[in-house]
Structures are given as structure tokens and as C-alpha cells.
Amino acid sequence: MPEGALDFRLLNEFQRDFPLCPAPFAELASRLGVPEGAVLRGLEALRREGKIARIGAVFAPKRIGASTLAAMAVPPAKLAAIAEVVNRFPEVNHNYEREHRYNLWFVVTAGSEGRLQAALAAIEQAAGWPMLRLPLLHEYHIDLGFALDGRDERPTRGATEHNHAFVPPTPLDEDGRRLVMVLQEGLPLFIRPFSVLASRLRCDEGEVIERIRRWCAQGIIKRFGVIVRHHELGYTANAMLVHDVPDAGVDEVGERLARAGGVTLCYRRPRVLPEWRYNLFCMIHGQARAQVEARIAELRVQLQISDYACDTLFSLTRFKQGGARYV
């Protein structure tokens, strides 16, 4: 295999549908036609380089805990200091500066709604600035897989998906909580990684694999595979595009936007009037700002949403990026 080809395939082909079997890296090696040791060494090198955050589970929002997007309007001179205060809270897993009066945007995750609200109150008090709380109301597309070969092959979605009933968070027993805890760290890069997890949990390897399979089937785990770090892969021009869409039509517009190529996230969140008027959010990740701006202009024309007020918040400083911590 040519130099660099193995790294590309490891990054591009296994962001979802990772083999859930006792020897998954051997299975990857068989598919790629290389020795198992080459797969393990390649993944370890990619992790050291920061291109891979971990190999493991992306949990569906609101299925095993509670989370929200939050924002603050911080004077630029104080932004770095306030971001550092926010970062000290383990419930914060993403924290970015964005181009807007509301310039500090972060995600807060906790094991329950009560713990989430307690964390938000503590963050607001420690930071000393009022906070916009923008919890997820409806998901249209949340995946954050990156097609490095340019093909946007997202799973197909029903046009009426927004009519599906809300699925409440899944109560976790003690074994489930402990499994979530070890999965938050990612799979160890060993020949039998699920056996390593099972030894930590004092259960059988088969039980671990079966529960992960069940969570994937139930939608509790949205994706199990290689979790890439987009910034390190060259996706440095990233924009949060927000629209003010009449409530009666937001689901229909959200579904259309979610199916559009280049949209990596799409969801509805509440307005917070008069400070924040927007209710439809999406993310577009690109390698150049002009490319992202052109794609946004194209989308607004193609989807006939040019009449809706919008704003584009490009990411600037990345203060914190990591996996959600539910336990």
C-alpha cells in the first residue's frame, strides 16, 4: 500500500460501522490487506499526531444524560481569561471563540438535567457574565463524520422524521454507567480491546460487545468508530450558520438543510428574545473560508431560504475540544 494510503483509509473509512467483534483491528487489517500490527501502529501514530481523538462511541444527545449549547458575550480583552474559567469545568467539552457579539460558545454535558442546571449555574457564577442557554429541541442531522474523499455519504433519513415521538433519556443501571465511563476514554489500542474493557468492568467480553451493539441498534450510540479531529485534518474554516425561521416551517426547512451536502450538523434550538432571535442551527466545515462562504450562499439560494434572516459565526480560537462526559 503506498505511503500515506493506510493513514487515509483508517481516517476515512472507519468513522462509523467499526467492527464490533473480539478482534476488531484484525478485521480492519483483513479489509485493508495489511498486517494487524500495521493497523495498530497507524492508529497510534494518528492519535499521537492529534488527528484522532479516540476510537469509540458518539452518544446521541439527550439519550443518556443532558446537554446544552451555551454562549456568552464577553469583552474581547477578557475573553481568554473567561474561557479559561469555563474550561475548568469538566462538564464543558467544547469551547470556541466565534465571530459575533456572542463570542464564547461552549457545550455543557452532564448525567442528568438536574446536574446540568447546577453546572450551568456554577459556570455562570464563576465566569461573572450572563449566559444564553440553548438546549437541543430537535435533531435533524448530527454526525460529525468527515468524508475526506469528498463524498458526502450520510445515512438516508426519512422526510417525516421530525414527526417521530421524542425518546426520553435511557436510565442507566450501574453496569451501564460503568460502561459509559470507560467508553468516554475510547477503545484501547490492543489486539482484543473489548476484553480490556471487560476486565476493567469485571464482566465478560461478549457482554460488553453485545451491550454496545444494542445501544447502537437503539440509537443511544449514534456512531461507533474513529473520531477524527477536523482541525488537525485541515478543516480550519468552520462556520455556525443560524437562521430565524417561522416555527410552523422550521422542521421542514431543517430536514431539507440536513440533507444538503456539506452540512455536518443541523438542529433546532430555542430563541432567547430579545438577545437571540435564531432557532435553526447548522455547521459547515471547510478548508478555506471562501469555500464555506460560497457554500452558504449556494445553500440559501438552492433551498429557497434567502428570505430568512441569518448570521454566520466563524470559529476563531479553539479553547477546548473533547468528548462529552456523561459520567
What's the CATH number where 132 sits?
3.30.70.3460
Average pLDDT over residues 119-143: 93
Rounded-to-integer distance, Cα 231 and Cα 318, Å: 9
Tell me the DSSP string of 37-51: HHHHHHHHHHHHTTS
Give the contacts of 296 (CB within 8 A, at least 6 positions apart): 239, 241, 284, 312
The residue among 33 and 157 whose pLDDT is bigger is 33
Whether the pLDDT of residue 312 is over 90: the answer is yes
Give pLDDT, residue 23.
98
Neighbours of 204 (CB within 10 A): 12
Rounded-to-integer distance, Cα 183 and Cα 185, Å: 5
Give pLDDT, residue 111.
86
Whether the pLDDT of residue 154 is over 50: the answer is no
Does 55 map to a domain? no
Q: How far is CA 124 from CA 45, 85, 115, 127, in A?
A: 39, 10, 14, 5
Rounded-to-integer distance, Cα 237 and Cα 287, Å: 5
Does 223 map to a domain? no
Give pLDDT, residue 163.
38
Does 293 map to a domain? yes
Give pLDDT, residue 311.
98
Average pLDDT over residues 97-118: 95
Q: Name the one residue in this structure whose C-alpha cell is 479553539.
A: 318
* Average pLDDT, rounded, for the chain: 89
One domain for residues 240 and 145: yes
pTM, to two decimals: 0.85
Domains contained in the chain, number: 2
Give pLDDT, residue 166.
47
One domain for residues 107 and 244: yes
Q: How far is CA 287 from CA 24, 213, 290, in A?
A: 32, 34, 9
Whether the pLDDT of residue 252 is over 50: the answer is yes
Give pLDDT, residue 3.
61
Question: What are the two backbone dihedrals, phi and then psi, of residue 50, each rounded to the nearest 5 degrees?
Answer: 85, 5
Does 276 map to a domain? yes
Does 205 map to a domain? no
Does 189 map to a domain? no
- Rg (the chain; Cα; Å): 20
The residue among 281 and 141 whose pLDDT is bigger is 281
The band of 149, judged by pLDDT with boundaries at 50, 70 and 90, is low
Average pLDDT over residues 139-160: 58
- In the chain, the percentage of residues whose pLDDT exceeds 90 is 72
Average pLDDT over residues 56-79: 92
One domain for residues 79 and 145: yes
One domain for residues 25 and 103: no
Does a cis peptide bond (omega within 30 degrees of 0) precede residue 22? no
Average pLDDT over residues 244-256: 96
Whether the pLDDT of residue 250 is over 60: the answer is yes
The band of 162, judged by pLDDT with boundaries at 50, 70 and 90, is very low
Give pLDDT, residue 168.
61
One domain for residues 39 and 138: no
Residues spanned by the domain of 37? 1-49
